[in-house]
Chains A and B, each alone.
Chain A
Amino acid sequence: MSAISLSAVRKRFGSSEIIRGVDLEVNTGERHALIGPNGAGKSTLFNLISGQFRPTSGQILLNGQRSDRDPPETIARRGLARSFQITSLFARLTVFETVRLGVMANQGVRFCFWRTAASQREVTNDVLALLDDVNLSHRASVLAAELPYSEQRALELAVTLALRPEIILLDEPTAGMSVEEAAQTVALVRRLTAGRTLLVVEHDMDVVFSLCDRISVLVHGQIIATGAPDEITRDERVNEAYLGKGLH
C-alpha cells in the first residue's frame, strides 16, 4: 500500500488550472522527491496533500484512507507532518517552547489547563532529545524569530519531527542555505527520517540525487515522469522540459 496516493487530482483557482490531473504514488518508507520548474505547481500539490486546499476533483489517499476532504489538523493527526518553504514559526515563543508544541500535540497534551507545561517530564525530555538531534540545544531559550536562517530551518524540521509522523512533507528544506549548510541539513534529514516516508520539494539537484530513492517531475501541473534518479536523468522528456536547463 502506498503512503500517499493521488489519482486524477485537479486544482483550479478561478479560471487557471494549476494542477491538471496528477497521479502520484509515494511508497511507504521511500524518500521521494518532487522536482519541476518554478510555477509548475509543486507547492500547490503540497498544500493539497496536507489539507490546506481541497482539490477541485480527484482523490487523495493517505495510507489507503481518503483524506482530500479533511482539514489540516485531522491530516496532521493521521501522521502526516509538513514543513514550510517560507519559515513560519511562532515569533513570541522560544526554541524550546516551539518544539514543545509539537511534542505536546504528539503526546495528546492539548486542552490541559490544570498543570503547568513545565511540570510534564515526558514532554520536556522529548523536547530536549529533539533539540539535541537538530543541534539546537544551546539555543533552547532564544526566541525563534531571533535565530539565523539556517537554524530556523533546523527548528522547523524539529517541530515537524516532534509529531513523530509516518509521512513527512518537506518544502525546500535547503532553500537559501550555503553549500555546507545544505550538506549538513541533508545529513540531518537523512538521519532523522530513517524508516519514514518522505516527500520533498527541492530545487538543488545535488540534494535530490543524494537524498532520494525516487523522483517525480512536475511540469505545468502534470507529472511527466516518475522513477529512480538515473532513470530520470536519462528521460528525454524530462531533459527537454527541465533537467537540461536545471543541471547545467
Chain B
Amino acid sequence: MNRYHRIAVCLAAAIVLLAPLTFSDRYANLAIRILVAALFATAFNLLWRQARLLSFGHGVYFGAGMFAAVHLMRANEAGLNVPLILVPLAGVLSGLIIGLLCGFIATLRSGAYFSMITLAIAELIYSLGPRWQALFGGEAGISSMRIPSMGLSFAALNEVYLIVLGWSALGFVAIRFFAKTPLGQIAYALGDNERRLQFLGYRTHAVKVCLFALSAAISGLAGGLLGIAAENVDYTVFGPASSAAPVIQTFIGGADVLFGPAFGAAILTGFGNVFSDVTRLWLLYQGLAFVVVVMFLPAGIVGSLLSSKKRPLREAIANTLAVLLCSASLIFLCESASILLSDSYASLRANQGGSWVSYRLFNIELLPSSPIVWALPLIVALAGVLVSCKLKRQEEAA
C-alpha cells in the first residue's frame, strides 16, 4: 500500500465513521449497536486469540457494564452530576472487578473446563437476575434518562454516537497496543504452550487472570456504551444470546485476525437489523452462516480474504457467485417453507377445500403446485454447485 492508498483508506474510514453524526435516531442507533458489538467481540477475542481461552459467558461482563452505566445515570438524575461522557467508565470498572473475581475462578482450569466454568457463571447470574429486584429491577429492568452535560443535550442519538465512537476507538487502540506489550506476548505464548511457560518462571494463572480482567473490562465498556444509548437494561442481557453473540461474530469474522471479530460483529449486527424487518428467519440464517463459515472458511471471512490475497480475482468472483446462488435458493426455500407450514396458510387451504392456494413472497404471487416455483430455485442452486465444482477441478489441475 503506498501513501496515497493509505490516505484514501483513512479518508474513507473517517467518512464512514463520522457519517452517523448526521443520521436520524433509527440509523444512529444502528451505528451505535454496530460499534458496541464490534468492541465487545474484539474484547471477547482477546482471550481466545491470545491465550486460547474460549469464554461462553462474556454476556456477564457486558451486562455488568450496562447495569453499572444505567445505575450511574439514575444517580445522575438524583443529582450526582457525572458528565455523560464519563459514565461508560462505570462499565469499565464493574467489568474489571467482576472479571477479576470470575476470571480468578475460571482460569484455574484451561480448555473445555474453562469454557464450562464461564458458562456456569453466566447461568448463575442469569438465574439471579429476576430475583434481585434492587439491583436488576426484576422483569422490567431499570431505566434512566440522559442528562445534558458539557453543552450538549444528548437528546438525539447521533450526539451519543460521538461518545460511543470516542470510547470504542480508545478500546480498539488499547486492545491493539496490548498485543505488543510484554504481557500480551506472554499471553500469546500461553495459548501455545502453558506448561513450557511455567518452566520459564511465569505464573501462568496470574497471566490468565490479568488477561481475563482486561477482556472483561473492555466488555464492560461496550456494555456501558450501550447503556447510555439505550437508557434501560433488564436481566435478559445476562442470557445465553448475549454470551453467544461475540462467539459467533468472532468466528464468522476471523478469530486470528485482530479486526476479524469487529468485522463479523458489524456485518451480523447490520444485516440483523435490516433483515429482521424483512424476515422472521434471521436467526436461522445467522446460524446457517455460522455453520458454513466454520466448515468451509475456518479462518473466518477476514482471515480467508487475507490469506487468499494471492489468488486470482476470477477465482474469488466465482467463489462468491457460487455462494450467492446457493444461498439465494436456500433463502427462497426456507421462506417458502415458513409460509407453507404456518397455521394461517393451513387454515387458508382448509377454506379453499384443501387445494393449493397461492402465497406472496418478495412481492411475487406464487402457486405451490406449479413446477416452475420449485424448479427455478433448484436450477439456481445447481448452477452454484456447478460453478464451485468447476473451480475445484481447475484448482486440482493447476
Contacts and interface: CB of A to CB of B under 8 A. Distances in A.
Interface of A: 50, 52, 71-73, 76-77, 81-82, 84, 88-93, 97-98, 100-102, 104-105, 109-118, 120, 159, 163
A116 B177 CA distance: 7
Interface stretch (B88-96, B116-124, B189-197, B261-269): B189-197
A226 to B, nearest CB: 26
B183 A112 contact: yes
Interface string B166-202: 0000000000011011111110110111011111111
B89 to A, nearest CB: 18
Interface stretch (B203-211, B245-253, B291-299): B203-211
B186 A90 contact: no
Nearest to B49: A92
Interface of B: 177-178, 180-186, 188-189, 191-193, 195-204, 206-207, 210, 214
A117 B180 contact: yes
A92 B183 contact: no
B200 A101 contact: yes
B206 A111 contact: yes
Given A73-B204, A110-B182, A110-B202, 16 more contacts: A50-B199, A72-B199, A73-B198, A76-B201, A77-B201, A81-B199, A81-B200, A88-B195, A97-B189, A98-B189, A101-B189, A101-B197, A110-B183, A111-B183, A111-B206, A117-B185
The DSSP consensus for interface residues of chain B is helix
A84 B200 CA distance: 12
Contacts of A104: 182, 185-186
A143 to B, nearest CB: 11
Nearest to B214: A113
B188 A92 contact: yes
Nearest to A159: B200
20 contacts: A73-B198, A76-B199, A76-B200, A76-B201, A81-B200, A89-B192, A89-B196, A98-B189, A100-B185, A101-B185, A101-B186, A101-B189, A102-B200, A105-B200, A111-B183, A111-B206, A111-B207, A112-B181, A113-B183, A117-B182
Contacts of B188: 90, 92-93, 97
Nearest to B184: A113
Listed residue (A77, A102, A110, A115) with the most chain B CB atoms within 10 angstroms of its CB: A110
Identify the interface centre among B197, B198, B214: most chain A CB within 10 Å of its CB. B198
